Amino acid sequence: MRVLVLGSGVIGTTSAWYLRQAGFEVTVVDRQPGPALETSFANAGQLSFGYTSPWAAPGVPKKAIGWLFEKHAPLAIKPGMDLAQYRWLWQMLRNCTHERYAINKARMVRMSEYSRDCLNELRAQIGIDFEGRDLGTTQLFRTQQQLDASAQDIEILAQYGVPYEVLDRAGIIKAEPALAHVDGLVGALRLPRDQTGDCQLFTRRLAQMAAEAGVEFRYDQDITGVEFDGDRITGVRIGGKLETADRFVVALGSYSPGLVAPLGMRLPVYPLKGYSLTLPITDPAMAPTSTILDESYKVAVTRFDNRIRVGGMAEVAGFDLSLSPRRRETLELVVRDLYPKGGDLAKAEFWTGLRPATPDGTPVIGATPFRNLFLNTGHGTLGWTMACGSGRYLADLMSARQPQISTEGLDIFRYGQYRHTPQHENRTCVLPAR
């Protein structure tokens, strides 16, 4: 049975790997010249299996008002003429309750914890190297209010049996010795089973291994539309040619909604623009040991072998990929404060990418009203974290095997406003230019 996977980021590539392992004939198509050259290229490097939380959280609406006037705010909204933006923001606000936060975080932790197990198994099986470290994540709190607010997260971690440690200043320094000089830290939440690694390096090497296992990768191919007949997809238009397959997987990140919209599917995935800096390490003893997450700025500082990756922030600004000097200032501010002697900022590489976010934080994985169309998208800031679990989960679903985790709340049918109302057999959608 032939499967056409649309997208060769970390989500599309892991989907292809697990589908091939399940016995499918797999072809991956992407508009870029290689794998992981968009959202997966230079993300924060966190494998945050325990630190998994939706942006939609209690208190965020009030905080967002204050962030409008802060130079280094973690979230920025640039209003435009896009109705999808306002619809997504409204849905996000509706998820900023204690009840919805608990439900959404539980779903996300479920997938993230499973993904950790899948990644560990994959590493043991094929020995893939991606500058990975198994030394945990430390979430830094600069105020007592931040520390107190972590209680709800801790409750959910305990519910799912995720190990955690609440650290005082001495504990922080023991976990991350280079932070001994930093004043004003009131505490931290450490998640010892979290990991780090270069997502782009992982994806590129897994794509090579998948190709050796029989997966066909076709790059520099523009995907322009989908054709259907009733409740079946009949083909995808790629480079002006109709490509057919038995089943189709949409793993196009932020561009997924545009492709499926002509099918009558309103997929609530919107791009959250994020930024990163990558700088060479100058003094290993003054660099992070693993990943530090600064709760005040929502910025992560991650250690690779010889580099530091600083990533974070979110802008609701559509498909704009311009590099903002103001955002660079924020990233530089955090790394100068925490690790002033760790890396060379003068040699830093500045990058931006679009994270495909759902309003509730949970990805959209699984079946659709079209019998042979499947989705694997909407992972937001946690695509790297959830990639292996999402790929294996999807392969199990498509193989008619019972997934190893609950399927509750993971597919598009959790959105009650969804309607399948295709009006024509041959509709096309041109995706935004790269």
Please report the DSSP string for 316-380 in residue order: E-TT--PPPHHHHHHHHHHHHHH-TTTB-GGGPEEEEEEEEE-TTS--EEEE-SSTTEEEEE-BG
The lowest-confidence range among 32-41, 47-56, 181-190 is 47-56
In the predicted structure, residue 428 carries a pLDDT above the cut 50? no
Q: Is 224 within any annotated ligand binding site?
A: no
Q: Is 7 within any annotated ligand binding site?
A: yes
Q: Is 357 within any annotated ligand binding site?
A: no
b/e map of 87-121 (b: 16 or more CB within 10 Å)? ebbebbeebbeeebbbbbbbbbbbbbbbbbebbee
Tokens of 402: 């019972």
Give pLDDT, residue 432.
47
Over the stretch 400-418, which tens digit does the pLDDT of each residue have? 999 999 999 999 999 975 5
Instruction: Kindly indicate the confidence band of residue 78, based on its pLDDT and cuts at 50, 70 and 90.
Output: confident
Give pLDDT, residue 417.
55
Query: How close are the terminal C-alpha atoms of the chain, in Å?
Result: 31
d(CA 388, CA 118): 6
Instruction: Kindly indicate the confidence band of residue 326, based on its pLDDT and cuts at 50, 70 and 90.
Output: very high
Q: Is 5 within any annotated ligand binding site?
A: yes
Q: Is 378 within any annotated ligand binding site?
A: no
Instruction: Kindly indicate the confidence band of residue 6, based on its pLDDT and cuts at 50, 70 and 90.
Output: very high
Residues 6+ away with beta carbon under 8 Å from 393:
111, 114, 365, 403, 404, 405, 410
Question: Letter for the amino acid at 159?
Answer: Q
Instruction: Kindly indicate the confidence band of residue 161, based on its pLDDT and cuts at 50, 70 and 90.
Output: confident
Q: Is 299 within any annotated ligand binding site?
A: no
Q: Is 9 within any annotated ligand binding site?
A: yes
Q: Is 361 within any annotated ligand binding site?
A: no
Instruction: Kindly indicate the confidence band of residue 19, based on its pLDDT and cuts at 50, 70 and 90.
Output: very high
Over the stretch 27-46, which tens digit does the pLDDT of each residue have? 999 999 999 999 999 999 99
Q: Is 12 within any annotated ligand binding site?
A: yes
Q: Any idea what DSSP says for residue 133?
A: B
Q: Is 66 within any annotated ligand binding site?
A: no
Q: Give mean pLDDT, residues 186-203.
A: 96
Q: How many CA atoms lie within 13 A of 198 on its CB side?
A: 18
Q: Is 342 within any annotated ligand binding site?
A: no
In the predicted structure, residue 424 carries a pLDDT above the cut 60? no
d(CA 352, CA 312): 10
Q: State the CB neighbour count (10 A cutoff) for residue 319.
A: 16
Give pLDDT, residue 352.
98
Over the stretch 256-311, which tens digit does the pLDDT of each residue have? 999 999 999 999 999 999 999 999 999 999 999 999 999 999 999 999 999 999 99
Over the stretch 81-136, which tens digit does the pLDDT of each residue have? 889 999 999 999 999 999 999 999 999 999 999 999 999 999 999 999 999 999 99
Q: Is 136 within any annotated ligand binding site?
A: no
Q: Is 226 within any annotated ligand binding site?
A: no
Give pLDDT, residue 156.
81
Give pLDDT, residue 70.
81
Over the stretch 379-397, which tens digit does the pLDDT of each residue have? 999 999 999 999 999 999 9
220 vs 81, residue with greater confidence: 220
Q: Is 16 within any annotated ligand binding site?
A: yes
Strand order in the sheet with 25-29: 216-218, 25-29, 2-6, 247-250, 373-377, 364-367
Q: What is the mean pLDDT of the chain?
A: 93
Q: Is 10 within any annotated ligand binding site?
A: yes
Q: For tokens 């920025």, what's the residue?
A: 76
Give pLDDT, residue 81.
80
